[in-house]
């Protein structure tokens, strides 16, 4: 119990300040323990299961207020306005020696409780006076109950007794307030004096303060400590002396031991039982509070871990998004690179194609210009040719075309050639009725002489249509074998048709063709192909063992108009005559010197055929019988069949060591002369199987293997069997020499005509 004048430091001693703790904190610390840990677990109070319950009361104007609870405004003392922001306090009633329904706070930490109490103390009614800037206008009682031990500590901060004049209190309210404060102090002083004097009556009920302190004064187990506060100011000396005199009186209080009554015993037993129950309940509550704290700490720790995990998860998600974004960017970059590369390649290809196309367009334009020039030139030449045709120029043009090794390309050039060729074509068609020889023409063409017309006194118009058209019809490979047997008839029909067409082609029609460059050009191309094909065909058909120029010289057959003199021409005429005269009848055997034929001189020699070249051609134009011992006679006949009676063809003279292949060459020439060029095979009558000789084997079979004819040992019989095709045709290739379909006698007749 703090006692002293106003401003002497009672409140300061009770609650202390920031630098120095007051009695409240020190008392709590002594009860609950020295220091509490941060976790509040391992302190002395926890070990001893100690805790306190605290109530804070204010006695103002003889009214009791609960500073821990919030009441209405009516509870506040009259005449005292609440400070700004202050909450009203709950007013309590006194029941017996205790305040009824007081609010308590519990705890086992001295620091927290003392801080809470100091904060609540600020709710006391204070007022600034001359003696104290913040002078307390009420008594403050702090009740500390320690349920585990059943003890109680009352700490009372009494309002300071003051002199109204010295305090400077003016006004009725201030005077009444000072009177009330002094009333409490005076009541306490009388109680103390009564107890000290041993009076039978102690005036506890004179004030609320002494009512609440009655148990402390009457219980002999309780102890009272009065702390006297005095100001060091000398001016306050008299107050200090008065306070000390008051303390001296209080010190004289001697309490006699109280004899318990039966009622007191019952109350004591009941109170002890209730106190034990309260203690047990408080301990259970305290354990629950400790468990709750532990759970809260575990929850806080789990929450911190959860936040930490969430932060890690967020970081991982951000990393994943970065990786995905980076991967997507890399893929897009890779695709873009590929697209760029492909685009570059395509651009380069496009540039190349454009260059190529440009080059081709230039070439095409060049060719078009050239074609226009040629067509214009041809058109002009056609007109000129139409005005004055000269057939001899065609021959000249054809000779130019065929000179040397000119082939198909040269023929094509003829199509684009000068006006002379047109004139030649024209002459051919006009004089188509004049029969001439293609052999003559072909020979001269192949001899490479371009000015044949100067040496030979005939014009190209005399060339027969047959000459021009005889070999233009090259058959397709397919079905060739089947067509071979029908070739003569088909060729004849075609030739007749073409001959008729040429014969009926009038000059007027030709003029129309000339006017029409396309048709005239087509006609020229056809004629040129026909002539060239005819030439090649003749060169292939005639196979005789004659060396080209040398043997012609030996036989005095020289057809070159340029190289031959008039005498040599006479020799040529003689040679040809011998050929013509040797033309036999059907069943006669001609004794011919085939080397005299001008055509034969252009063909490869047959080494196996025994026709010796005579020194004097005049003496060897014929060969009757077996003049030489090296020669033998061979009678050639067809095999008897349904179609033929096996008629004899002719007799041939061959060398004794000749083979059937050599004999075949002679027979084929003979058949050509008879216009019966048919494929055949040799039959060896001595062979019991009757199998014909394979053509490939003919070169290995000598003529002497043939059977004798009529038991004459110097003559043999060659029996021929018709075959469907020549084996040679199986390997026929395009543009190879064609087979001549013209009868040889016609050719010879034409040659004769030409010469
Ligand atoms: N021991 C001390 N050390 C330092 N300052 C002190 C001390 N005692 C008191 N004071 C100061 O003196 C002033 C008055 O003190 P305090 O309010 O405690 O007096 P009081 O006795 O309670 O007055 P009242 O009865 O009017 O309330 C305060 O400002 C306080 O800080």
**pLDDT tops 60 at residue 441:** no
**pLDDT tops 70 at residue 579:** no
The ligand 1 atom nearest the CA atom of 126: 27
Amino acid 363: pLDDT: 92
Cβ-contact 22, 170 below 8 angstroms = no
| Dist. CA 157–CA 140, nearest whole Å | 5
Higher pLDDT, 718 or 162: 718
**Mean per-residue pLDDT for 519-530?**
68
Q: Whose CA is nearest to atom 1 of ligand 1?
A: 9
ipTM, two decimals, is 0.96
Higher pLDDT, 711 or 108: 108
**pLDDT tops 80 at residue 459:** no
Range in 209-213, 343-347, 575-579 with the lowest mean pLDDT: 575-579
pLDDT grade for 701, boundaries at 50, 70 and 90: confident
Supply the angle between the helices 517-541 and 408-415 in degrees, to the nearest 10. Answer: 150
pLDDT grade for 110, boundaries at 50, 70 and 90: confident
Count of CA atoms in the C-beta half-sphere (13 A) of 707: 17
DSSP letter, residue 161: B
**pLDDT tops 60 at residue 78:** no
Amino acid 696: pLDDT: 84
d(CA 157, ligand 1 centre) in Å: 12
Write out the H or E segment, with its range, that includes residue 755: none
Q: Whose CA is nearest to atom 31 of ligand 1?
A: 12
Q: Quick: pLDDT tens for 669-695.
A: 888 777 777 788 888 776 666 678 888
Residue whose CB lies within 8 A of the most ligand 1 atoms, among 9, 17, 18, 228, for a mutation test: 9
Asked whether residue 73 is marked as a ligand-binding residue, the answer is no
d(CA 133, ligand 1 centre) in Å: 10
Higher pLDDT, 140 or 476: 140
Amino acid 66: pLDDT: 86
Write out the H or E segment, with its range, that includes residue 278: helix 262-387
Asked whether residue 651 is marked as a ligand-binding residue, the answer is no
pTM of the entire predicted model: 0.40
Amino acid 494: pLDDT: 43
DSSP 73-111: GGGSPTT-PPPTTPPPEEEE-EETTEETT---EEES-HH
**What sections of 388-437 are H helices per DSSP?**
391-402, 408-415, 419-430
d(CA 126, ligand 1 centre) in Å: 13
Amino acid 435: pLDDT: 38
Range in 47-51, 508-512, 615-619 with the lowest mean pLDDT: 615-619
What is the token pair recorded at 33?
């323990």
**pLDDT tops 50 at residue 147:** yes
**pLDDT tops 70 at residue 446:** no
Amino acid 343: pLDDT: 94
By CB atoms closer than 10 A (0-12, 13-18, 19+), residue 52 is buried
**Mean per-residue pLDDT for 65-85?**
59
Ligand 1 neighbours (beta carbon < 6 A) = 4, 6-12, 132, 135-136, 159-160, 229
Amino acid 429: pLDDT: 40
Count of CA atoms in the C-beta half-sphere (13 A) of 16: 14
d(CA 158, ligand 1 centre) in Å: 12
pLDDT grade for 268, boundaries at 50, 70 and 90: confident
Amino acid 590: pLDDT: 39
| Dist. CA 138–CA 420, nearest whole Å | 156
**Mean per-residue pLDDT for 426-455?**
39
Amino acid 366: pLDDT: 93
Most confident segment among 315-329, 551-565, 734-748: 315-329
d(CA 19, ligand 1 centre) in Å: 14
Amino acid 537: pLDDT: 53
Amino acid 518: pLDDT: 64
Q: Are strands 227-228 and 2-3 parallel, antiparallel or unpaired?
A: parallel
Amino acid 360: pLDDT: 93
Asked whether residue 161 is marked as a ligand-binding residue, the answer is no
**pLDDT tops 60 at residue 336:** yes
d(CA 12, ligand 1 centre) in Å: 5
Cβ-contact 243, 158 below 8 angstroms = no
Percentage of the chain exceeding pLDDT 90: 11
Amino acid 638: pLDDT: 81
Nearest in space to 682 (alpha carbons), one of 633, 630, 726, 718: 718
Nearest in space to 155 (alpha carbons), one of 213, 214, 79, 80: 213
Place of tokens 């006698």: 745
Q: Are strands 680-683 and 648-655 parallel, antiparallel or unpaired?
A: unpaired
Q: Are strands 680-683 and 708-709 parallel, antiparallel or unpaired?
A: unpaired
**Mean per-residue pLDDT for 638-660?**
76
| Dist. CA 64–CA 78, nearest whole Å | 13
**Mean per-residue pLDDT for 650-660?**
84
Asked whether residue 442 is marked as a ligand-binding residue, the answer is no
**pLDDT tops 70 at residue 475:** no
**pLDDT tops 80 at residue 451:** no
The ligand 1 atom nearest the CA atom of 2: 21
Write out the H or E segment, with its range, that includes residue 587: none
User: Other CB atoms closer than 10 Å to residue 428's CB: what's the count?
Assistant: 27
Angle at 605 (CA atoms; ends 603, 607), nearest 5 degrees: 160
Cβ-contact 222, 215 below 8 angstroms = yes
Amino acid 704: pLDDT: 84
Asked whether residue 11 is marked as a ligand-binding residue, the answer is yes
How far from chain centre, in Å, is Cα 190?
110
Residue whose CB lies within 8 A of the most ligand 1 atoms, among 1, 6, 8, 158, for a mutation test: 8
Range in 85-99, 291-305, 361-375, 483-497 with the lowest mean pLDDT: 483-497
Q: What is the mean pLDDT of the chain?
A: 68
pLDDT grade for 723, boundaries at 50, 70 and 90: confident
Amino acid 200: pLDDT: 83
The helix/strand/coil state of 68 is strand
d(CA 231, ligand 1 centre) in Å: 9
The ligand 1 atom nearest the CA atom of 4: 21
Name beta bridge partners: 136. Answer: 126
d(CA 11, ligand 1 centre) in Å: 6
User: Other CB atoms closer than 10 Å to residue 156's CB: what's the count?
Assistant: 23
Amino acid 669: pLDDT: 83
Asked whether residue 8 is marked as a ligand-binding residue, the answer is yes
Q: Domains, the chain, ranges and CATH? A: 2-251 (3.40.850.10), 388-542 (no CATH), 566-754 (3.10.20.90)
Amino acid 103: pLDDT: 86
Amino acid 235: pLDDT: 86
pLDDT grade for 755, boundaries at 50, 70 and 90: low
The helix/strand/coil state of 611 is coil
Amino acid 739: pLDDT: 52
Range in 146-155, 237-246, 506-515 with the lowest mean pLDDT: 506-515
């Amino acid at each position: 119990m703090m006692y002293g004048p106003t401003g002497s430091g009672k409140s300061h001693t009770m609650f202390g300040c920031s630098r120095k703790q007051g009695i409240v904190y020190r008392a709590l610390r002594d009860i609950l323990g020295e220091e509490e840990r941060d976790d509040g677990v391992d302190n002395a109070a926890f070990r001893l299961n100690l805790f306190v319950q605290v109530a804070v009361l204010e006695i103002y104007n003889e009214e009791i207020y609960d500073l821990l609870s919030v009441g209405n405004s009516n509870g506040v003392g009259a005449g005292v306005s609440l400070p700004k922001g202050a909450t009203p306090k709950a007013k309590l009633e006194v029941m017996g020696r205790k305040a009824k329904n007081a609010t308590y706070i519990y705890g086992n930490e001295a620091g927290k409780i003392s801080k809470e109490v100091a904060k609540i103390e600020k709710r006391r009614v204070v007022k600034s006076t001359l003696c104290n800037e913040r002078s307390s206008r009420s008594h403050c009682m702090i009740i500390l109950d320690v349920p585990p031990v059943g003890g109680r500590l009352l700490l009372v901060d009494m309002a300071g007794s003051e002199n109204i004049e010295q305090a400077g209190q003016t006004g009725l309210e201030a005077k009444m307030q000072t009177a009330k404060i002094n009333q409490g102090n005076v009541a306490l002083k009388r109680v103390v004096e009564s107890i000290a004097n041993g009076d039978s009556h102690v005036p506890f009920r004179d004030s609320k303060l002494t009512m609440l302190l009655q148990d402390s004064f009457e219980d002999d187990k309780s102890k009272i400590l009065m702390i006297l506060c005095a100001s060091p100011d000398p001016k306050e000396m008299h107050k200090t002396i008065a306070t000390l005199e008051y303390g001296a009186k209080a010190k004289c209080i001697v309490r006699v031991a109280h004899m318990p009554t039966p009622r007191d015993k019952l109350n004591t037993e009941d109170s002890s039982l209730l106190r034990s129950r309260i203690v047990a309940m408080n301990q259970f509550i305290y354990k629950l509070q400790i468990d709750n704290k532990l759970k809260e700490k575990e929850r806080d720790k789990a929450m911190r871990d959860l936040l930490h995990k969430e932060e890690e998860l967020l970081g991982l998600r951000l990393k994943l998004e970065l990786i995905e974004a980076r991967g997507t960017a890399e893929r897009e970059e890779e695709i873009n690179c590929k697209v760029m590369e492909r685009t570059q390649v395509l651009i380069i290809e496009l540039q190349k194609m454009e260059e190529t196309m440009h080059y081709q367009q230039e070439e095409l334009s060049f060719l078009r210009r050239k074609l226009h020039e040629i067509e214009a030139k041809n058109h002009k030449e056609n007109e000129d040719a139409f005005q004055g045709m000269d057939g001899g120029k065609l021959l000249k043009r054809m000779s130019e075309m065929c000179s040397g090794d000119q082939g198909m390309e040269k023929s094509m050039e003829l199509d684009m050639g000068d006006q002379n060729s047109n004139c030649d074509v024209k002459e051919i068609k006009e004089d188509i009725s004049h029969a001439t020889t293609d052999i003559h023409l072909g020979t001269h063409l192949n001899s490479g002489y371009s000015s044949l017309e100067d040496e030979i006194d005939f014009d190209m118009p005399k060339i027969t249509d047959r000459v021009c058209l005889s070999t233009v019809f090259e058959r397709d490979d397919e079905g060739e074998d089947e067509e071979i047997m029908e070739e003569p008839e088909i060729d004849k029909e075609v030739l007749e048709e073409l001959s008729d067409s040429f014969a009926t082609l009038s000059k007027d029609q030709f003029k129309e063709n000339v006017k029409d460059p396309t048709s005239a050009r087509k006609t020229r191309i056809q004629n040129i192909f026909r002539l060239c094909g005819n030439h090649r065909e003749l060169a292939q058909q005639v196979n005789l063992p004659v060396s080209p120029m040398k043997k012609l010289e030996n036989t005095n057959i020289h057809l070159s108009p340029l190289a031959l003199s008039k005498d040599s021409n006479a020799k040529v005429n003689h040679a040809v005559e011998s050929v013509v005269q040797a033309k036999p009848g059907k069943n006669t055997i001609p004794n011919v010197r085939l080397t005299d034929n001008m055509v034969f001189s252009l063909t490869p020699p047959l080494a196996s055929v025994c026709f010796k070249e005579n020194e004097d051609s005049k003496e060897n134009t014929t060969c009757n019988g077996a003049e030489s011992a090296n020669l033998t006679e061979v009678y050639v006949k067809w095999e008897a069949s349904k179609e033929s009676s096996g008629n004899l063809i002719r007799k041939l003279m061959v060398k004794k060591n000749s083979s059937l292949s050599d004999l075949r060459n002679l027979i084929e020439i003979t058949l050509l002369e008879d216009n019966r060029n048919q494929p055949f095979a040799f039959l060896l009558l001595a062979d019991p199987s009757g199998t014909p000789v394979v053509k490939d084997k003919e070169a290995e079979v000598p003529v002497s293997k043939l059977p004798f004819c009529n038991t004459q040992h110097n003559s043999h019989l060659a029996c021929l069997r018709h075959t469907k095709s020549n084996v040679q045709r199986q390997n026929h290739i395009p543009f190879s020499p064609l087979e001549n379909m013209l009868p040889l006698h016609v050719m010879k007749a034409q040659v004769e005509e030409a010469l």
